[in-house]
Structure 1
Amino acid sequence: MWVARAPPRGKEATVTRATCVRLGVVVVLAVTVMLVVPGEAASRRGAFAALAEDDQRVARALYEAQQASGVRPWTLDEIATRRRSASSWQDVFAAMRATGLVREKSLKQVLRRYGRPAGDAGPAAGEPASAPPPTPANPTPAPPAPRPTSPGDPEPVTASPPVPAVPPAPAAAPAPEPATAERWGMQEIVLRATGAYRQPFGDVLVTATFRHESGRTHQVFGFYDGDGQGGQEGSVWKVRFMPTEPGRWTWATAATPPDPGLHGLAGTVFAGPPAPGNRGPLTRPRAPYLFPAHADGSYTFLIGVWARPWEFEPDARAALYDTLQGHGITRLRLWLPAGAKFDGDYGRYNLGFMHALDTTVRELQARGLVADLILYNNDDERDMTRRQDEQYLRYVLARYGAFRAVTVTIANQVDWHYAGHDSGLNDVQASTDWGNAAGEYLQSINAFRVLATQHHPGENHRGLVYYLPALAEWPFAAWSDWIMKQLQVTALSAAQTLEEVEPRSCTLNERGLARLNAIVLALRERFRQAVSVDEYSFESDGCTPSWKALSATGTRKTHWVVTASGAWGSTSLVGIQEDVADVEVLRRRPTLAQLGIVARVMRTLPFWEMTPANAIVSPNPVVIGGEAWRTTFAIGKPGVAYLVYALNGGAGTVTLPAGTYRVIRVDPRTGEEVELGTVHGGAVPFALPGARPADHNTGDSDWVLLYVAPGARRS
């Protein structure tokens, strides 16, 4: 973290007015700081330029390979000077490795990873050229589209303050040496205002622009942080930045009004490669629209629970994380209560809560867990104006958008947002319009492309209209990164048709689970986006129809159907629901362990490529309400791996393409795996213990079959 103060007072200032260059630029969420240091570097200014072209490529590769080590990184000219006095580049590499500046085991590894053209030159000698920089994922944000006037928002619609343009680079001035940062890490700059402001959250607009040496830029907002430690009063503003590429990033800030401590500061960040375990942020799922990849191309099997870790003491919080991760949970849905995040009104934020949330997000990121931030809650914030909405969305992205662990659900139950203002369909339409306007605005300022969506139940607050017919719709497709649906599976079980008002029920049957599968498949096909089922009903010891209506058994079965639909999901478990936080209760119940079996099995398979494949398996239907409903569901990567979930067990046939496959039966209650031998492509029969319970919340009847080509299953 780098701290900038202005105006300076003697030697106490970290950066003096002489070392900070005033610029009329966008304040960039930045990391560590460096301007060109003309002192000793100037005395060797020609060393790098005097090198031959091939030697410049080697010098630049060594320069970019430097890691944070407590030792000041060498400049390009210093590296070039070392080469003049050494017998070979190998000697320079050995000296840098001995001091901890580089971690690669050989010069060849450095060149392979960092050896890229200097300017427009070709590849480093003896090494392949790296790919050109990708097209920027986040161009300069355009002003958001006008948002429709909505209930509770009588004021005229006005555009947000424009982000200033980036001026030409400043002249060189003395500044601290650069500190290294890791790619996809969260870096922070602390600024201190000189003026006092009545409403610092809204009266001051701080922005920052980071420019990579390739030309890529990120423009971000800064945020007010009180005393910087969770106190409301103070002069601290912060900017946070995620280096999306390794190499040199220059940054510059601007503020309105142009406070000397916030406006016109500039510097440089040097980003190295990601640390072990840092796979980068999740990216928008592409065809076949199953799971999001990390920025490095790897995948996480997403399986989530709702939680409020900030309510735990540190030791209990660590125990919660250990318990969840020990059972394969990879995603926590963090519901931000209105009573906790605001400080008296919608334009001020409770910085004590925000610091507690900072801690939670940092801890989840360090553990490789996904933090899904739910920003609005039902109709709690329905009286916020458009201006307050935009200020809040800017603040959230400024504060949390640079964390690679974060995804955003703008509103829980988005259809409820204006439930108190009208009745029936008007509520739903106004809420949908608000949800689209909020989503479009958030995406227009989303510098690091944090994945964002809405939680869409398709129901009115009073449950009067619209629920079941809306399940086939996704009105946010123009801006959302994935589809998030609430599919209350016991309501789907009880409904005679999908044209009626949501029935309240505590019974789980084949009709409800088959409908869930069919809805997920249809949404993906129609809207060409990945689907998550976040709230298929919460686990409960009793029953609150229909939103809290599943037993441990019903939760297990429903999550397997979600998985066998090529979707991911989350639920709320007894032990960490709402205001309850009891890890021991969570550990004693079977639910978490059985969700862990889902996660363990799927991680051994190429889940991100396993598309819905119901056609390969006998449907084994049951008749409810005069209609046949399938009880088997399948996903697969053709010719490689298939998973069949048999809700009622029984006998049937799986049709496989040519090849040889191991057959493995998995007990979803215990995780026990039994090898059933080898089969070849064609129509392959199977026989499982079978039963049809009257209520799938109570009866145990389900099994999982895996058909895996040799070598396709990971340990």
Structure 2
Amino acid sequence: MQARQCFAILFALAAILPAARAATVQGELVAWRPMAVSFEGPAAVETDDDPNPFLDYRLQVEFKGPSGQVYDVPGFFDGNGEGDERGGVWRVRFTPDEGGGWKYRASFRSGKGVAVSLDADAGAPAAFDGEQGAFDVAPRDAKAPGFLKWGRLEYAGGHYLKFRDGPYWVRAGVDSPENFLAYAGFDNTPPSHRYADHATDWRPGDPDWNDGDGKAIIGAINSLASMKVNSLYFLAMNIGGDGDDVWPWAGRPTRKGGPDDDNLHFDISKLRQWEMVFAHAQRRGVNLHIVLNEAETQNKKELDEGELGVERKLYYRELIARFGHHNALGWNLCEEYNIQFDLGPERIRSFADYIRATDPYDHPISVHSAHDPFKELRFTFGDPRFSMTSIQLNQRRIDTLVEDFREATAAAGRPLPVSTDEFTIDVGQEASWKPFDRPGLHRKQKLWPTLLSGGQIEFILEDLLQTESFKTPNRRAMWKSVGIARAFMEDHLRFWEMSPADTLVEGEATIQVGLGAGASFRLGAQVFQTPNEVYAIYFPTAQQTGRLDLTAADGEFDARWFNPREGVFEGPARPLAAGGWIELGAAPSDRDQDWVLLLKRAEK
């Protein structure tokens, strides 16, 4: 009798409750363009505790592609699917890597803390668990904007990342403001930045929200992209850090951090706005360098007292689920991991392990250090968890440091891209960490020496956290130099096959470069070569160019002078015969300035 009554009740409920709608496939179904699948599931509010929709449900969707590739992609609770905190939309974002027929199958589990478990059978099946579907994807569009035409930026076994269906990549980015996301137009965010100077850089057709709230930050992305800056470094959470003004959670954490902060509920509308900015950056060719923690003790301890616990795992999972579909993205585990509360190598490895287990796309992982970068990052050499470096060096010599990192990581069996992400020039300041915008000095002392030593670069700006404009006169001049250097590398060199070889030049003029505290060194020619094929030589001053050792080469080379201030070749090509030491001759003009000499094997 009791069983029949229960059955009758269930039947009656089934009769009055609407049937679950089939999943909805959304977006541009083209290879390397993001799309989404949305499911109708349990209704919730972003602040619910029992169950917590972020922690006590877990959506994973398995996508199978036409060549048999499989991606196990985390999904997320998305309120009403339009930015409201209430609703029953559960969504997964995905970027297919190939045209053709794709299938998907959803796993939806419920249970206390199930979201952060890596056990596929944790919790119990719920709602739309097991729902399947299929969709067709068009082939890659070679004319798509930004990174959408090239696909995912990946570790390629050498000192440069490569797009799966596109070129090798040289980072030339910006490191300030690290609290880029502390933008007045975002919901639930202190208005540390307004980027008013960039509001006019927004263009019709660009994304926006709330009738103008998004225009200035979208304009800032447009401005950076137009000036050939291709990477942006920013924190996803700085509670307890320098800014105390960026977080992904619902509500307002204690600005200096604390054990009572709610780090288990996420702000759906804010993260939807972040996604609009990130997606636009991808379309404009700006890589997302996402930094997950910063140096200060309270920031490092804000999640699980610094350990890998429920809060940190959920933080990683939500960021991966909401943003991991983007093609050009990297996870930087922590800024200055080793000062104040020293996270140490073991914690850093455990953080990387969890991200690797959760991120279906295997985006590059790095970690940033203080003090001697070679010593403090050595534990990452040869470790497959790490696919990029993130080097703070202040006023240390940049060219030889890049070369040392290249040599050491290659010797460890996993050559890493060498990215110098935080450095300063010596202009007599007492604090060596304090940056100054000096475009000429940056070009001569940092930019070209880094690139022609086989490294990559991000500039920290003079205003640090107070940076409001990327187009001050000094910055425009600096980005002009960045664009010229990038174009030279990308248009004229097979840089991924080249290596530094400064000892091939002797007798050239040098410039004095400060190292702080009254110390300095003499910087001479920077040589980047593919032996017997191409030699790119940067002279920080061309007052005397010396001679080049081509004893091991043969045949003839064409030599051309390139002006790194204006981005043009000057003067006619000049034939040079290999087989010994050769005089390089005079630059065509302004010999007290910097020049590049490009030698390429003459075509027969």
TM-score (norm 2): 0.73
Decide which structure has greater strand share. Answer: 2
Give the alignment partner of residue 348 of structure 2, picking from 422, 435, 452: 435
Q: How does 1:273-672 map to 2 (within 5 A)?
A: 273-275=139-141, 276-277=143-144, 278-286=149-157, 289-306=158-175, 308=180, 311=183, 312=195, 314-338=214-238, 339-343=246-250, 344=253, 345-379=262-296, 380-385=299-304, 386-416=309-339, 419-420=340-341, 427=342, 430-457=343-370, 459=371, 467=372, 470=375, 473-475=378-380, 477-490=382-395, 492=396, 512-527=397-412, 528-538=414-424, 543=429, 545-550=431-436, 551-557=438-444, 558-574=446-462, 577-585=464-472, 589-605=476-492, 606-618=494-506, 620=508, 631-649=524-542, 650-656=544-550, 657-672=553-568
How far apart are residue 471 of structure 1 and its match?
5.6
Residue 703 of structure 1 pairs with residue 556 of structure 2: no
- State the distance in 2 between where 1:405 and 1:532 align: 17
- State the distance in 2 between where 1:542 and 1:326 align: 33
- State the distance in 1 between where 2:426 and 2:219 align: 22
- State the distance in 2 between where 1:395 and 1:544 align: 41
Consecutive unaligned residues in structure 2, runs of 5 or more: 1-12, 111-123, 184-194, 196-212, 239-245, 254-261
Contact 1:364–1:405, Cα closer than 8 Å, also in 2: no
1:198-247 per-residue CA deviation (whole Å, 9 max, x = no partner) reads: 22211111111112344332111111223333343433321111212322
How far apart are residue 294 of structure 1 and its match?
0.9
- State the distance in 1 between where 2:398 and 2:98 align: 44
Question: Residue 546 of structure 2: SS of its match in structure 1?
Answer: strand
Contact 1:190–1:239, Cα closer than 8 Å, also in 2: yes
- State the distance in 1 between where 2:322 and 2:603 align: 44
Contact 2:439–2:475, Cα closer than 8 Å, also in 1: no
1:490-548 per-residue CA deviation (whole Å, 9 max, x = no partner) reads: 1x2xxxxxxxxxxxxxxxxxxx2454344334334333322333324257999573223
- State the distance in 2 between where 1:352 and 1:578 align: 24
AA partner of residue 37 (structure 2) = I
Q: 1:213 to 1:648 in 2, by over 3 A?
A: closer
Residue 206 of structure 1 pairs with residue 77 of structure 2: no
Partner of 2:10: none
How far apart are residue 359 of structure 1 and its match?
0.8
AA partner of residue 383 (structure 1) = E
How far apart are residue 700 of structure 1 and its match?
7.3
1:78-117 per-residue CA deviation (whole Å, 9 max, x = no partner) reads: xxxxxxxxxxxxxxxxxxxxxxxxxxxxxxxxxxxxxxxx
AA partner of residue 35 (structure 2) = Q
Question: Residue 378 of structure 2: SS of its match in structure 1?
Answer: coil
Give the alignment partner of residue 575 of structure 2, picking from 678, 686, 691: 678
How far apart are residue 611 of structure 1 and its match?
1.9
- State the distance in 1 between where 2:467 and 2:55 align: 35
Contact 1:663–1:706, Cα closer than 8 Å, also in 2: yes
- State the distance in 2 between where 1:651 and 1:401 align: 48
Q: 1:337 to 1:709 in 2, by over 3 A?
A: same
How far apart are residue 256 of structure 1 and its match?
1.8
Q: 1:12 to 1:306 in 2, by over 3 A?
A: farther
Q: How does 1:179-218 map to 2 (within 5 A)?
A: 181-196=29-44, 197-198=48-49, 199-218=52-71
- State the distance in 2 between where 1:689 and 1:709 align: 20
Question: Residue 150 of structure 2: SS of its match in structure 1?
Answer: coil
How far apart are residue 31 of structure 1 and its match?
4.5
- State the distance in 2 between where 1:230 and 1:621 align: 60
Q: 1:630 to 1:180 in 2, by over 3 A?
A: closer
- State the distance in 1 between where 2:81 and 2:593 align: 55
Q: 1:563 to 1:452 in 2, by over 3 A?
A: same
Contact 1:621–1:628, Cα closer than 8 Å, also in 2: no
- State the distance in 2 between where 1:244 and 1:548 align: 43
How far apart are residue 280 of structure 1 and its match?
0.6
- State the distance in 1 between where 2:97 and 2:295 align: 34
Partner of 1:83: none
Contact 2:35–2:94, Cα closer than 8 Å, also in 1: yes
How far apart are residue 612 of structure 1 and its match?
1.8
Question: Residue 248 of structure 1: SS of its match in structure 2?
Answer: strand
Consecutive unaligned residues in structure 1, runs of 5 or more: 1-6, 21-29, 33-178, 421-426, 460-466, 493-511, 691-698
Partner of 2:188: none
TM-score (norm 1): 0.63
Q: 1:369 to 1:535 in 2, by over 3 A?
A: closer
- State the distance in 1 between where 2:524 and 2:450 align: 13
Q: What is the RMSD of the two structures over their aligned residues, measured on CA atoms?
A: 3.5
How far apart are residue 487 of structure 1 and its match?
4.0
Greater Cα shift, 535-544 or 387-396 = 535-544
Question: Residue 456 of structure 1: SS of its match in structure 2?
Answer: coil
1:165-195 per-residue CA deviation (whole Å, 9 max, x = no partner) reads: xxxxxxxxxxxxxx97211221111223225
How far apart are residue 667 of structure 1 and its match?
3.1
Question: Residue 316 of structure 1: SS of its match in structure 2?
Answer: helix
Q: How does 1:74-89 map to 2 (within 5 A)?
A: none
Contact 1:224–1:236, Cα closer than 8 Å, also in 2: yes
AA partner of residue 522 (structure 1) = E
Q: 1:531 to 1:12 in 2, by over 3 A?
A: same
Q: How does 1:127-276 map to 2 (within 5 A)?
A: 181-196=29-44, 197-198=48-49, 199-257=52-110, 261-275=127-141, 276=143
- State the distance in 1 between where 2:428 and 2:226 align: 27
- State the distance in 2 between where 1:544 and 1:8 align: 74
1:661-683 per-residue CA deviation (whole Å, 9 max, x = no partner) reads: 22222333333432352222232
Contact 1:654–1:686, Cα closer than 8 Å, also in 2: yes
- State the distance in 1 between where 2:271 and 2:473 align: 27
Q: 1:250 to 1:586 in 2, by over 3 A?
A: farther
* Number of residue pairs matched by the alignment: 499
AA partner of residue 135 (structure 2) = V
Contact 1:597–1:671, Cα closer than 8 Å, also in 2: yes
Question: Residue 371 of structure 1: SS of its match in structure 2?
Answer: strand
AA partner of residue 409 (structure 1) = N
- State the distance in 2 between where 1:483 and 1:707 align: 30
